[in-house]
Chains A and B, each alone.
Chain A
Amino acid sequence: MPADTVIRTEGLVKDYRVGSRFRGGGSVRALAGLDLEVRRGEVFGFLGPNGAGKSTTIRILLDQLRPTAGRAEVLGTTPRAGGPALRARIGYLPGELRLSGRATAGELLGHLTRLRGGRGAERIDECAQRLDLDLSRPIRSLSKGNKQKVGVVQAFVHAPELLILDEPTSGLDPLLQQEFLSMVREACDDGATVFMSSHVLSEVEEIADRVAIVRAGVVVDVDDVAALRHHAGQQVELVFAAPVAADDFADVPGVEQLTVSDRTLRCLLRGEPDALLKAAARHHVVRWSAQDRELEDLFLDFYRVPPSEVRRDSTEVR
């Protein structure tokens, strides 16, 4: 593994057993040969719909799960061989964070830093303040959003070399999402590598350098975010004062799937909108809208593996 590779998986396969071993239960394939490479110092977005295998991949990196086949390496070692020493270098935010108990948020964070030999204990207050987290409240009385803040604090507070964040912004309101993103940027400025998953492109496109798209347990595309946004395109709708001819727009660069009905033009626009705007400006435009396409639409484009070839038993597994 080259020195600048922080996470690498090769042909990672994970099967879960379902049903009883005694009553002919089968297995479900959550990962079907997943290849991934994350370089030192980058923010890497790991995108896919729920059930695509994001959490499974992440939990293998943390040695919570053991791969059925293939290989995973984190910071130059396998998660299992790396053991506690490897996990000391990783800050992890689980996708389904569950916290309970009578202890206060501050006490729990104190406990978790003690498990790291006290590393980061002095930064708990500062981190909590940034996210507006009240450390004196009992954990079981915290809302989902506040619990998520506890999760974010415990992942960042010891300034790890590698941050592995599973759906980190779920439950955070928009203001806190911005604060979270600035924490990610600062961690990167300090040399950390960030690997974060999401099922929404807009959550990671602002911060990520590169993005992998995972579907049914395989990576179907790896790209930098600008290229991905270009591929994704926007759904554009223009309404004119008078009927227009489709021919006027058919040859505009970046315009696809053009439909013109009477005064309304709809198309998929890839790349810069400049040419389309200039073409439209020759007419009287009364209304316009341009919407980023949803990730799900993106998958339709990125179907390098046709659905029929995806194993039929690749259904949703946490």
Chain B
Amino acid sequence: MRAAAITGWVLRERRRSLTLWALALMAVCAMYLAFYPSMANQDMEAIIAGLPEGLVEAMGWDAIATGAGYLESTVYALLGPALLLVFGIGAGAGLIAGEEEAGTLELETAAPVGRRSLLLQRHLALALGLLLLCTALAAMALVLAPALDMGIAASGIVAASVGLYLLVLAMATIAFAVGAASGRRATALGVAAAVTVLAYIADALAPMVEGAAWLETISPFAWYLGGEPLTRGVDAGGVLALAALTLVVLAAGMIAFERRDLGV
């Protein structure tokens, strides 16, 4: 398995951290869903009606009384992406720039491996690690939603999980690619975090501010949840946009990585 030796090595080195993150995501998902039966028994509609309309829209609570709405507002729109983005952006910035700054990448870059191959193998490790975490989260939701009678189709959970995976992969790839291009971990973290926050704000503002609906078309958060995947299934346009963003950013990072000085 020489072809993916670096991918295997990176995942092995991080297997403990990946396991802990997977368990944390499953625990968060289980904890929120466990509250669903008691929430559903109360008059949620009445509580929501008492809140300012803008807040309800911004937080996406307009459908919180339904099972799908509850799962989305708690897990898929809030803690799922938050936790996964923290992990993904951190890992993305660390895999090239972080290890390069620490000096631990030098033996690998001096080995008979091309820079392109090295970069793609490390990105593959990032993609597989995130896939594992998203799968763990989805598995928990797929088990608990029917058990708690939430009335969500399994296909909806799969669709939302695919979208979540692609969103997190895109943002983590921004951190990875900026790190590969600059060799600076702090720059990679900063750029990816800024893009993520701007994307989130754009998505939240779009429905509230008159004439700002166009913001939804450029926000990766909107590409992920705008099509309401939990109830309507896969949003092909959103999925393609997220995948395209990942590929373009990765390609740009690769070109810069092949050209620059390493470890300076």
Contacts and interface: CB of A to CB of B under 8 A. Distances in A.
Chain A partners chain B: yes
Interface stretch (A58-66, A179-187, A222-230, A255-263): A58-66
A88 B114 CA distance: 11
A84 B109 CA distance: 9
B45 interface: no
Report whether over half of chain A's contact residues are helix, strand or loop; otherwise say mixed. Answer: loop
B198 interface: no
B52 interface: no
Interface stretch (A112-120, A128-136, A269-277, A307-315): A112-120
A183 to B, nearest CB: 18
A94 interface: yes
A59 B259 CA distance: 15
B6 A115 contact: yes
Contacts of A62: 110
A100 B108 CA distance: 13
Nearest to A87: B112
B111 A98 contact: no
A96 B111 contact: no
A200 B244 CA distance: 54
A111 B5 contact: yes
A101 B112 contact: no
A16 interface: yes
A123 interface: no
B261 A100 contact: no
Interface string A92-118: 101011111111000000011011111
Interface residues of A, number: 32
Interface in A251-305: none
B112 A114 contact: no
B12 interface: yes
Contacts of A101: 13, 104
Contacts of A96: 103
Nearest to B258: A80
B261 to A, nearest CB: 5
Contact of B114 (A64, A84, A117, A318): A84
Interface string B109-152: 11111100100000000000000000000000000000000000
Contacts of B102: 98, 100
A114 to B, nearest CB: 5
B261 A115 contact: no
Nearest to A114: B5
8 contacts: A62-B110, A64-B263, A84-B111, A85-B112, A88-B112, A98-B104, A103-B13, A117-B112
Given A99-B104, A111-B9, 6 more contacts: A66-B260, A87-B111, A94-B106, A101-B104, A112-B107, A115-B2
